[in-house]
């Protein structure tokens, strides 16, 4: 009854191209190596017999040599056998990383405990049978698990050892979703869903656990089939039930339901906030929400911030200050700011009723009228001009009328 760790979608070497700051981008890339050390610590703590990587160990078929070396070094430190299949990002086709002499030499020197399963055939371990379903192309048009439907295969395996399937792909109802930050094509093809795993056609009782990869959130498909998700988050939240940042600790026995324990492994937080400003007081409520998420941290979070509504001129200036502060603290601020300037009655009066400054008053009244007009382009320019006028006159004394 072995205990093992199920993980997937490490995607080492991921470029994070939308992060403009080089130093911050490097932190995100390095953390994908650091999480491997946390996985190794967990394996030792739980006395795991082995670790399974269900595809996409690398982000591409051509990772840099430094990425290969860093990965192999971290895998060696895990101290237990690591069995991995290629996924769609690092598929096992001609010219892939797995066929390169440099990779094999580095693996031999730094990670002799790493075993690549590049063929769909049973692998017998001391305590389990592995049934790998590697991807040899980025988009497989046939079901990678089809070879498991052969009844002769089931009959030929040892009866007492649990059987564990490793597969990378999509099941009916959902599959991998490319985040809008991701580069490259999604998983669809003209013929339908690529790398489609039809788990319903596997013979009853033929396997005891299905270790799946491709979906970046942890998800239970059936009590015996799980997506582990990526161990370090790599994209903003996408709906309910998407729980990236975990590794699964699994105990399995032949003919019994596996015991699956999710263990959190992520360090970086990927957050999303939507805020509608109905009045200026909502700005401070938004600031409080952001500060609660960041919890005093710097350089450990990414935030998608969607803003809309209306703010007065002072509040708009305050918002710009806050955005600048958050930008400095966050690894990335992905901002959608649809906030419109809507001067308060007091701010309008302060500009339009300046008895000692009749020119300013007249200009302000024209800008207020234009800002409320039907021509949106002209209104937008007028709102900008009002803000500038407000900023220039904020410290000027008003003559008494």
Least trusted range by pLDDT, from 178-182, 203-207, 328-332: 178-182
| Average model confidence (pLDDT) across the chain | 88
Question: What pLDDT does residue 186 have?
Answer: 41
Q: Say what the alpha-carbon torsion angle 109, 114, 120, 124 is, to the nearest 10 degrees.
A: 110
Domain ranges of the chain: 3-264, 269-393
Question: What pLDDT does residue 123 have?
Answer: 97
Cα 211 to Cα 324: distance, rounded to the nearest angstrom: 43
What percent of the chain is modeled with pLDDT above 70?
Answer: 83
Strands 209-213 and 51-54: unpaired
Using 50, 70 and 90 to split pLDDT, how confident is the model at 168?
very high
Least trusted range by pLDDT, from 12-21, 79-88, 151-160: 151-160
Cα 210 to Cα 8: distance, rounded to the nearest angstrom: 12
Question: In what side-by-side order are the strands of the sheet with 82-85?
Answer: 114-116, 82-85, 51-54, 3-7, 246-251, 259-264
202 and 154 Cβ atoms separated by less than 8 Å:
no
246 and 264 Cβ atoms separated by less than 8 Å:
yes
Question: What pLDDT does residue 353 have?
Answer: 63
Using 50, 70 and 90 to split pLDDT, how confident is the model at 187?
very low
Q: For the chain, give percent helix, strand, coil, nearest 5.
A: 35, 25, 45
Least trusted range by pLDDT, from 86-95, 196-205, 223-232: 196-205
Q: pLDDT by residue (tens digit) across 103-148?
A: 999 999 999 999 999 999 999 999 999 999 999 999 988 999 999 9
Cα 207–46–32 angle (5° rounding)? 85
Instruction: Tell me what the mean pLDDT of segment 236-249 comes to.
Output: 85
Question: What pLDDT does residue 306 have?
Answer: 97
Q: pLDDT by residue (tens digit) across 46-64?
A: 999 999 999 999 999 999 9
Tokens of 49: 């017999």
Q: Could you tell me which residue, 123 or 155, shows the higher pLDDT?
A: 123
Q: pLDDT by residue (tens digit) across 188-201?
A: 443 457 899 999 89
Q: Could you tell me which residue, 392 or 135, shows the higher pLDDT?
A: 135
Using 50, 70 and 90 to split pLDDT, how confident is the model at 280?
very high
Q: pLDDT by residue (tens digit) across 296-308?
A: 999 999 999 999 9
The residues that bridge with 219 in the sheet, in sequence order, are: 227
Pick 3-264's CATH classification: 3.60.21.10, 3.40.50.720, 3.30.70.640, 3.40.50.150: 3.60.21.10
Question: What pLDDT does residue 152 have?
Answer: 84
């Amino acid at each position: 009854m072995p205990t093992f760790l199920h993980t997937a979608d490490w995607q080492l070497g991921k470029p994070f191209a939308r992060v403009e700051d080089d130093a911050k981008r490097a932190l995100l890339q390095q953390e994908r190596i650091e999480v491997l050390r946390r996985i190794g610590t967990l394996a030792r703590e739980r006395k795991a017999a082995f670790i399974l990587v269900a595809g996409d160990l690398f982000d591409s078929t051509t990772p840099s040599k430094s990425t290969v070396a860093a990965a192999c070094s971290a895998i060696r430190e895990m101290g237990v056998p690591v069995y991995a299949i290629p996924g769609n990002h690092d598929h096992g086709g001609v010219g892939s990383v797995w066929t390169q002499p440099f990779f094999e030499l580095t693996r031999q020197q730094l990670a002799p405990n790493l075993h690549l399963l590049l063929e769909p055939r049973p692998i017998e371990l001391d305590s389990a049978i592995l049934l790998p379903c590697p991807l040899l192309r980025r988009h497989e048009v046939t079901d990678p698990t089809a070879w498991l439907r052969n009844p002769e295969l089931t009959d030929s395996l040892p009866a007492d050892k649990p059987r564990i399937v490793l597969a990378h792909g999509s099941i009916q109802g959902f599959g991998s979703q490319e985040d809008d930050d991701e580069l490259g094509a999604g998983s669809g093809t003209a013929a339908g869903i690529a790398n489609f795993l039809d788990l319903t056609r596997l013979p009853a009782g033929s396997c005891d656990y299905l270790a799946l990869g491709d979906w970046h959130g942890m998800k239970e498909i059936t009590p015996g089939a799980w997506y582990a998700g990526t161990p370090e988050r790599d994209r903003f939240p996408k709906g309910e039930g998407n729980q990236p940042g975990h590794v699964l600790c699994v105990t399995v026995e032949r003919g019994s339901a596996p015991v699956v324990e999710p263990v959190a492994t992520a360090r970086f937080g990927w957050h999303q906030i939507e805020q509608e400003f109905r009045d200026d007081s909502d700005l401070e409520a938004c600031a409080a929400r952001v500060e609660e998420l960041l919890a005093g941290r710097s350089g450990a979070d990414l935030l998608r911030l969607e803003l809309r509504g209306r703010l007065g001129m002072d509040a708009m200036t305050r918002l710009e200050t806050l955005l600048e502060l958050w930008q400095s603290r966050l690894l990335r601020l992905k901002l959608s700011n649809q906030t419109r300037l809507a001067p308060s009655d007091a701010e309008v009066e302060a500009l339009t009723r300046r008895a000692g400054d009749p020119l300013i008053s007249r200009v302000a009244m024209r800008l207020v009228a234009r800002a409320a007009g039907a021509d949106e382009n002209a209104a937008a320019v007028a709102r900008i001009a009002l803000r500038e006028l407000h900023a220039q006159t904020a410290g000027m004394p008003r003559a008494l009328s």
